[in-house]
């Protein structure tokens, strides 16, 4: 079925906030429906928040309830790991905005990677995945951790055989894809469909953005002005509805980075120590922070206030900011306003096996 959206454009004047220019014409869309309707269930699991555009959906992987429900099971399925002990959700926990509350994630047999697991809210809008942007579609991305010896460490032939032999999966694949065949491509499509529906736009900040001036505390409003103002310039990089410019920057976490970041992909010295700007949606729940999980939120703010450690690729916007303790508290209050509790508690995102 073709995508249909009903959008009403409302122009909202939010006084004295020039940074909001791009948001002034907010189209308040009713939830768009992307569906092949091969399930009796009405509506769509893809619930687009008011003012958000419909995310791009690949033509060969339309969102349906059946694919979503299969993807949900696979996301929480421990047979995904060679040891049958870990699932995607082990490192991407709903209560933490689909990230891991450990500094770096521990994969099978206690093996540790070097990176912090990113939050997955609103990844439907992204075109580059992982801290260094090495994957480009959610379908492509889903295969990575299965094979990664530090994560799920699973041979794909074994995984396909396990799911084919499982009493519940062949029927679920048939509902989602028309026949019982379990393939890696279908696994990737189902997981990507589930993840694509992780749309978060119901925070206090979103209510404020939609015109409810009482949705933010006075401190959070002050924090918002600091975040967007010329003193801190946070939104030069953490921009747009998703608080990311989708670009790579070195914020000067180190003088010498052990992890080359983007340079691992491009092999350019000028990309050394640069990482993809993370979204700040639900940021209060997604700690510890940075690509290697080295900081608490207070430490992140201190890091920016001090200007970081100089290195040749460090972004020039990262410099001592001279923010007072009150300013930092206000910034934090603003960051807290990005928590979307309805998203973090959405029933059909939860573990279906519990």
Question: Whole-angstrom Cα distance, residue 281 to residue 245?
Answer: 14
Question: Of 213 and 302, which CB lies nearer to ligand HEC in the complex structure?
Answer: 302
Own/partner pairs, 223-229, CB within 8 angstroms, 24+ separation: 223/329, 223/330, 223/331, 223/332, 223/333, 223/334, 223/335, 223/337, 224/334, 224/337, 226/323, 226/327, 226/330, 226/331, 226/334, 227/331, 227/334, 228/17, 228/19
Does 300 engage in binding with ligand HEC (CB under 6 A)? yes
Does 314 engage in binding with ligand HEC (CB under 6 A)? no
Residues in the chain: 354
Among 70, 152, 163, 344, binds ligand HEC (CB under 6 A): 152
Among 76, 131, 205, 343, binds ligand HEC (CB under 6 A): 131
**Which of these segments, 12-20, 159-167, 311-319, 342-350, binds ligand HEC (CB under 6 A)?**
311-319
Does 159 engage in binding with ligand HEC (CB under 6 A)? no
Does 121 engage in binding with ligand HEC (CB under 6 A)? no
Question: Of 28 and 246, which CB lies nearer to ligand HEC in the complex structure?
Answer: 246
Does 146 engage in binding with ligand HEC (CB under 6 A)? yes
**Which distant-in-sequence residues (6+ apart) come within 8 Å of 110 by Cβ?**
none
Does 115 engage in binding with ligand HEC (CB under 6 A)? yes
Question: Of 186 and 233, which CB lies nearer to ligand HEC in the complex structure?
Answer: 233
CA-to-CA separations, 310 to 218, 234, 300, in angstroms, rounded: 34, 18, 16
Question: Of 62 and 249, which CB lies nearer to ligand HEC in the complex structure?
Answer: 249
Among 26, 33, 47, 88, binds ligand HEC (CB under 6 A): 88
Among 105, 210, 337, 339, binds ligand HEC (CB under 6 A): 105
Does 299 engage in binding with ligand HEC (CB under 6 A)? no
Q: Which residue is associated with the tokens 């939120």?
A: 297
Does 262 engage in binding with ligand HEC (CB under 6 A)? no
Does 290 engage in binding with ligand HEC (CB under 6 A)? yes
Does 200 engage in binding with ligand HEC (CB under 6 A)? no
Question: Of 49 and 288, which CB lies nearer to ligand HEC in the complex structure?
Answer: 288
Does 205 engage in binding with ligand HEC (CB under 6 A)? no
Degrees, nearest 5: CA angle 127-133-136: 40
Question: Whole-angstrom Cα distance, residue 121 to residue 84?
Answer: 26
CA-to-CA separations, 2 to 37, 41, 169, 178, 330, in angstroms, rounded: 11, 17, 28, 19, 45
Among 49, 202, 278, 308, binds ligand HEC (CB under 6 A): 278
Among 62, 72, 73, 92, binds ligand HEC (CB under 6 A): 92
Q: Which residue is associated with the tokens 């924090």?
A: 223
Question: Whole-angstrom Cα distance, residue 240 to residue 298?
Answer: 23
Among 90, 93, 282, 339, binds ligand HEC (CB under 6 A): 90
Contact between 124 and 55 under an 8 Å Cβ cutoff? The reply is: yes
Own/partner pairs, 84-92, CB within 8 angstroms, 24+ separation: 86/151, 86/152, 88/145, 88/152, 88/191, 89/351, 91/117, 91/145, 91/151, 92/117, 92/120
Does 277 engage in binding with ligand HEC (CB under 6 A)? yes
Q: How far apart are CB 27 and ligand HEC at their closest, in Å?
A: 25
Q: Which residue is associated with the tokens 């990005």?
A: 338
Does 249 engage in binding with ligand HEC (CB under 6 A)? yes
**Residues that bind ligand HEC in the complex, under the rule CB under 6 A:** 80, 86, 88, 90-92, 105, 107, 113, 115, 117-118, 120, 123, 129-131, 141-142, 145-146, 151-152, 191, 195, 232-234, 236-238, 249, 251, 253, 275, 277-278, 280, 283, 286, 289-291, 300, 304, 315, 317-318, 331
């Amino acid at each position: 079925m073709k995508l249909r959206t009903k959008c009403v454009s409302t122009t909202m004047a939010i006084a004295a906030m020039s940074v909001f220019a791009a948001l002034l014409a907010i189209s308040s869309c009713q939830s768009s429906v992307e569906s092949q309707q091969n399930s009796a269930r009405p509506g769509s699991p893809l619930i687009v928040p008011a003012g958000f555009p419909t995310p791009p959906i690949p033509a060969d992987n339309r969102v349906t309830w059946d694919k979503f429900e299969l993807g949900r099971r696979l996301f929480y399925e421990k047979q995904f790991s060679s040891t049958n002990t870990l699932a995607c959700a082990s490192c991407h926990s709903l209560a933490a905005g689909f990230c891991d509350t450990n500094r770096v994630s521990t994969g099978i047999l206690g093996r540790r990677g070097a990176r912090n697991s990113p939050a997955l809210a609103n990844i439907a809008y992204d075109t580059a995945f992982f801290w260094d942007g090495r994957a480009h579609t959610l379908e492509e991305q889903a295969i990575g951790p299965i094979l990664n010896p530090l994560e799920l460490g699973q041979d794909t032939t074994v995984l396909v055989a396990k799911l084919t032999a499982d009493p519940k999966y062949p029927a679920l694949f048939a509902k989602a894809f028309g026949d019982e065949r379990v393939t890696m491509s279908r696994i990737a499509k189902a997981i990507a469909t589930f993840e694509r529906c992780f749309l978060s736009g119901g925070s206090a900040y979103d209510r404020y953005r939609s015109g409810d001036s009482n949705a933010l505390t006075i401190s959070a409003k002050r924090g918002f002005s600091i975040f967007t103002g010329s003193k801190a310039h946070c939104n030069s990089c953490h921009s747009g509805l998703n608080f990311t410019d989708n670009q790579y920057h070195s914020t000067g976490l180190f003088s010498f980075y052990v992890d080359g970041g983007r340079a691992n992909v491009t092999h350019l010295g000028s990309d050394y120590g640069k990482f993809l700007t993370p979204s700040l949606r639900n940021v209060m729940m997604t700690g510890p922070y940075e690509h290697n999980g080295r900081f608490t939120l207070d430490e992140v703010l201190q890091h920016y206030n001090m200007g970081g450690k100089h290195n040749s690729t460090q972004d020039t916007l990262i410099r001592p900011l001279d923010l007072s303790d009150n300013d930092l508290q206000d910034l934090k209050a603003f960051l807290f306003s990005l928590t979307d509790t309805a998203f973090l508690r959405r029933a059909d995102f939860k573990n279906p096996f519990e």
